Amino acid sequence: MQSYKKEFIEFMLRSGVLLFGDFTTKSGRKTPYFVNTGLYRTGAQLAELGGFYASAAKEYFGDSFNVLFGPAYKGIPLVATTSIALASKGDDVAWCFDRKEVKDHGEGGTFVGHKLADGDRVLIVEDVTTAGTSIRETVPKMQAAADVKLAGLLVSCDRRERGTGDKAGLDEIGAEFSMPTHAIVTIHEVIEHLHNREIDGVVVLDDEMKDKMEAYLAEYGPRGSD
């Protein structure tokens, strides 16, 4: 596992974004772990987060994109900080995000930032996706604005849960829109790195928690090989 992935897992944990316990997901599933990117709350955290996204974007997507897109609302700060981090590495790419409602005054329109143009290669930057609702809502908007190519989708953590069918949600979205999808880390990488490892003097993922997580994934993970 690459060093930046290990650092990102510990960063999520220290930021209070990666949680272990008893939670209920939006879909009603009872889960022993939860990832809530809405809990990043300082400028330093946001700056560091952008660096992780930038590292993953370069590793998985290389130079296949020239525009970053962040779906409203959580994608907005993510796309901004990722673009800044990429620029600091010498890759100055355009970025934009959508409005939930079309603005009918001033400059108007659906998008803020870069004006999408035919031939743009767009990398979507999102937090966590299972159902893929925000992607299904925003991709048609982009395609209506210009003849863009979907370079891919990058999320922070892939929970490896089934979407609407047998595939993991992230894989399902990729197949539906014919684009590559990747995460900075997967939940399997989280388990691998944190199992029985002390972080700041505490083991948060012991044998009992590992068993709970693996039981959850056995029930709600993709059917077949993963």
Active site residues: 103, 105
Residue 122 in contact with residue 142, Cβ under 8 Å? yes
For residues 173 and 135, give the distance between their C-alpha atoms in angstroms, rounded to a whole number.
8
* Token pair of 143 as six digits: 């395609």
Q: What is the largest CA-CA distance in the chain?
A: 57
Residue 38 in contact with residue 45, Cβ under 8 Å? no
* Token pair of 178 as six digits: 């014919």
* Token pair of 119 as six digits: 């031939």
Any idea how long the chain is?
226
